[in-house]
């Protein structure tokens, strides 16, 4: 017996977020200036994890908030597509964006 998987959203939140995900995934990168702006605006690493200290002791740990963003994977994918466009099509050095 063969089972198949589908890519349909499973719950109400996924159904409501799907248009936003489709929009981000549908962004076409064909302009070097646009790709450069995307690489500058979207950070390479999640910068939000922090430890709040008071008198040398950790009082509060703030976890990285990136994975709480429902569009995290789509935004990272968009940045990767921009980097790939700059490297493969424009033959630009992408090390400043890493």
pLDDT digits (tens, 9 = 90+) for 50-98: 788 889 898 988 777 787 788 989 999 999 999 999 999 999 999 998 8
CB 98 within 8 A of CB 65: no
Q: Tell me, what's the pLDDT at 1?
A: 47
Q: Is 62 helix (H, G, I), strand (E, B) or coil?
A: strand
Q: Tell me, what's the pLDDT at 8?
A: 61
Q: Tell me, what's the pLDDT at 21?
A: 95
Task: Give pLDDT tens digits for 15-58.
Answer: 999 999 999 999 999 999 999 999 999 988 877 777 888 898 98
DSSP state of 66: G
């Amino acid at each position: 017996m063969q089972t198949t998987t589908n890519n349909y959203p499973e719950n109400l939140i996924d159904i409501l977020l799907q248009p936003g995900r489709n929009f981000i995934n549908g962004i076409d990168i064909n302009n070097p200036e646009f790709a450069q702006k995307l690489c500058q605006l979207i950070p390479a690493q999640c910068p939000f994890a922090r430890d709040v200290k008071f008198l040398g002791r950790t009082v509060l740990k703030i976890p990285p908030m990136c994975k709480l963003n429902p569009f995290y994977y789509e935004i990272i994918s968009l940045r990767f597509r921009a980097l790939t466009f700059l490297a493969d099509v424009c033959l630009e050095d992408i090390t400043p964006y890493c």
